[in-house]
Amino acid sequence: MAGTEMISNSESNDKFFEGVEKLIEIWFTPVKHADLRKITRQQWENVLKIVRCEIISFTQSEQVDAYVLSESSMFVSRRRWILKTCGKTTPLRCVRAVLQLAQETAGHSRVQNVFYSRREFARPTAQLKPHDNFDSEVELLDSFFGDGRAYIMGPEKDCWYLYTLLPLEGTVDALEKEQQNVGIGCESLEPDQTIEILMSDLDPAVMDIFTRAASANAAEATRASGIDKLIPGMVIDDYLFDPCGYSMNGVAKDGCYMTIHITPEPQCSYVSFESNVSAASYDALLARVLAAFRPNKFIVTVFATPNSPGADASRQLKKFSSLGTYSQKDAQHCRFSGYELHYALYCKFPS
């Protein structure tokens, strides 16, 4: 597919794929009748050409359109757009086109918030501009959004980068007023949360499930790995690549989504899990995900609005660190633009 580039080192016969994704999420200020789902599939296909990937499957719930891509996933809802792409894709190159479509086709002209994040790449120098370094990514994002703030969390090799808009004093009050003026009420102040688990160096026996040699199709891999049991009530759209690799989106009636992407090659094994499912504690979900994939190392991030049950994730992650199988190597907490963010890095004990 357009963005797929396996780097083959003939001496070691090492086939490398960059599983680490770039993740961009844009929230638009609510406007009556505006809806990003007015953007047509053909228009999205044109946008994704800029990113160097393609749509390979589609499913939807009442609240969200979910696309499986040749390199990960895209989710489109009324005022939230999420694009997550791996390999040598260039998601930030399409932001201008998306902002234009949001305005001209969907009726959204004001951005409320932006989150761009990624883990450190396994091979940063193999990325295409602006993704070859975080400074260039920030420079491009600032050229669109102006008031950005960049964070780097964790130790150098395992660090996690984040760009978001500056916290503005009184933003939430101002927003609330604005929404009342346009007759939307306070629906944008609904609780929101996202958990991401970025796993590397995984159990080869588990990774083997995500090969065509071991599984006849995606549904078989989904069942054999237990992915279908991670979050109940998800309608699953899954895809098994040839000869290996796996992607899935899940959507639920309540508007929740989950997405999992798997690079099983032993020399660069990587799995990402993401969901906006709400939970008072993420311990049980985290434990199920870790039991399914058995990584040696993982980063977990939790974003939550203060009114979300997930806002207390810091205490939970601390508690989780005492479970014994993994030791917490690093943990950080940030508060900005109406969100709490927790980052933690874990390694199998003893590492």
Ligand X SMILES: C[S@+](CC[C@H](N)C(=O)[O-])C[C@H]1O[C@@H](n2cnc3c(N)ncnc32)[C@H](O)[C@@H]1O
Question: Among 164, 272, 275, 316, which residue sits at the site for ligand X (rule: CB under 6 A)?
Answer: 272
Sign of CA dihedral 122, 118, 264, 284: positive
Options 263, 275, 301, 316; binder of ligand X; rule CB under 6 A: 263
The C-alpha angle with vertex 307 and arms to 304 and 313, in degrees rounded to 5, equals 40
Distance, CA of 131 to CA of 138 (rounded, Å): 10
272 is annotated as an active-site residue: no
72, 73, 225, 272: the catalytic one is 72
Is 17 an interacting residue with respect to ligand X (CB under 6 A)?
A: yes
Contact region for ligand X (CB under 6 A) — 13-21, 94-102, 221-229, 321-329? 13-21
Question: By CB under 6 A, is residue 21 in contact with ligand X?
Answer: yes
DSSP 196-263: EEEEEEE-HHHHGGGBTTT-SSHHHHHHHHTGGGTSTTPEEEEEE-SSB-EEEEEE-TTS-EEEEEEE
Active site residue 308: no
Residues 69-88 touching ligand X, rule: CB under 6 A, are 70-72, 86
**DSSP 8-state symbol, 64:** E
Q: Which stretch binds ligand X (CB under 6 A): 88-96, 134-142, 270-278, 285-293?
A: 270-278
> Residue 36 or residue 221: which is nearer to ligand X going by CB?
221
Query: What whole-number distance in Å separates Cα of residue 63 and Cα of residue 52?
Result: 27
Q: Is 248 in the site for ligand X (CB under 6 A)?
A: no
On whether 196 is known to bind a ligand per the annotation, the reply is: no
Q: Which of 65, 265, 274, 340 binds ligand X (CB under 6 A)?
A: 265
If one asks whether residue 207 binds ligand X (CB under 6 A), the answer comes out as: no
Distance separating alpha carbons of residues 333 and 340, to the nearest angstrom: 7
CA distance 79 to 175: 14
Least Å from the CB of residue 54 to ligand X? 9
Residue from 1, 126, 150, 172 touching ligand X (CB under 6 A): that is 1
| 71 annotated among ligand-binding-site residues | yes
Asked if residue 265 belongs to a known ligand binding site, the reply is yes
Strands (E), the chain: 7-9, 14-16, 22-28, 55-60, 64-69, 72-77, 80-85, 111-119, 148-153, 160-165, 193-202, 235-240, 246-251, 257-263, 270-275, 295-304, 326-336, 339-348
Q: Is 247 a catalytic residue?
A: yes
> Is 322 among the catalytic positions?
no
Active site residues: 72, 86, 247, 261
The residues of the shown chain that bind ligand X, judged by CB under 6 A, are: 1, 4, 17, 19, 21, 70-72, 86, 241, 244-245, 247, 261-265, 270-272
Binding residues, as ranges, are: 17, 71, 241, 265
